[in-house]
Amino acid sequence: MCTHDVPRPYRPEELTDIGGARPGAFAGAPAPLPVPVYDNHTHFDFGDSPVELRAALDAAEAVGVAGAVQVGCDLASSRFTVAAVDADPRLLGAVAIHPNDAPELALAGTLDDALAEIDAMAAHPRIRAIGETGLDYFRTGEAGLAAQHHSFRAHLDMAKQRELALQIHCRDAHTDVLATLDEVGAPSRLVFHCFSGDAELAKICNEKGWFMSFSGTLTFKNAHNLRAALAVADPALILVETDAPFLTPHPFRGRPNASYMLPYTVQCMAQLMGLDLSEMGHLLRTNTGSVYGSWSD
């Protein structure tokens, strides 16, 4: 999830004072997970209350979140991502132009140049995914859809050419995302970031071998469709993420989200799936490794 009303991403030289979250007090830390897992999607460069990167990762590690995938949404945040994965071995990265940024770049005549720079950044060995990319019909009007589709297809090609995973952002556009994937072909590892579909989409993901990454929205009281999707999802295809600083899990909505909050969502998933936390942790670690490889490489 990306918005336009956040501060600029920090420059590489500011890595000692980065991170951030929405205004408000951070919630207390959850009990540590018995088996460490990874935050599959977060944005350390967004927010209004700067926090130190290593301190944020230390806080996450203390509750059993061993590392994270830092995700870029535009050129600035993707450059930040490359610097961040060099700064701390607990991070892997993903780089992309967010679908809501593509129309602005197209209007300025710089979209293809931006995509070329993203492709160059994707050559970094600790960049393991292209994302977040996709389609978003909620924030972009009809005039910007052509640019979104052009950008999405370019990112799909990058992921396939570089043999990287693809993280999809999809909002109010599931039909067209699926149609595009059917038309041009999906990369070998594809993730629906912050999965927002229903049981029917989960069944399609099962058939295609696509991963579904669940966020704190799973814990929301009105998340009936998400819980129905998790109930039918192939356990070998589920992941977990924060999308921090957004989507703070219940009962802490309205407070900043962060990677150390991930155990609240893991606990919810385990309860819904009838697994103990150790079983849940081993499952999520295995699935995360299948998508992104090893953090130690």
Residues 6+ apart with CB under 8 A from 104: none
Binned at pLDDT 50, 70 and 90, residue 24 comes out as low
Q: Where in the chain are the domains?
A: 40-292
- Of 14-28, 177-191, 252-266, 283-297, which range is least confident? 14-28
Classified as helix, coil or strand, 159 is helix
pLDDT tens for 52-100 read 899 999 999 999 999 999 999 999 999 999 999 999 999 999 999 999 9
Provide the mean pLDDT of the chain: 91
Is 43 marked as a binding-site residue? yes
Contact of 233 with 206, CB cutoff 8 Å? yes
pLDDT tens for 235-285 read 999 999 999 999 999 999 989 999 999 999 999 999 999 999 999 999 999
More confident residue, 190 or 10: 190
Tell me what the mean pLDDT of segment 103-129 comes to.
Answer: 99
Is 149 marked as a binding-site residue? no
Residue 1 has pLDDT above 80, yes or no: no
The pLDDT score that the predictor gives to residue 52 is 82
What percent of the chain lies above the pLDDT cut of 70?
Answer: 90
Binned at pLDDT 50, 70 and 90, residue 48 comes out as low
Tell me what the mean pLDDT of segment 173-184 comes to.
Answer: 97
| Amino acid, res. 13 | E
Q: How is residue 90 written in tokens?
A: 């607990």
Residue 10 has pLDDT above 50, yes or no: no
Distances (CA, A) of 10 to 95, 133, 220, 289: 15, 21, 31, 28
Residue 39 burial class via C-beta count within 10 angstroms: exposed 0-12, middle 13-18, buried 19 and up:
buried
Is 155 marked as a binding-site residue? no
Shortest CA distance to 104 belongs to which of 140, 79, 132, 137? Answer: 140
DSSP 111-148: HHHHHHHHHHHTTSTTEEEEEEEEEETTTS-GGGHHHH
Binned at pLDDT 50, 70 and 90, residue 51 comes out as low
Is 41 marked as a binding-site residue? yes
Residue 107 has pLDDT above 60, yes or no: yes
Binned at pLDDT 50, 70 and 90, residue 18 comes out as very low
Is 250 marked as a binding-site residue? no
Interatomic CA distance for residues 244 and 296, integer angstroms: 23
The pLDDT score that the predictor gives to residue 264 is 98
Residue 12 has pLDDT above 70, yes or no: no
The pLDDT score that the predictor gives to residue 47 is 64
Q: How is residue 237 written in tokens?
A: 């295809």
Residues 6+ apart with CB under 8 A from 2: 43, 46, 73, 74, 98, 100, 101, 132, 169
This prediction has a pTM of 0.90
Is 169 marked as a binding-site residue? yes
Residues 6+ apart with CB under 8 A from 16: 52, 53
> Homologous superfamily of 40-292 in CATH?
Metal-dependent hydrolases (3.20.20.140)
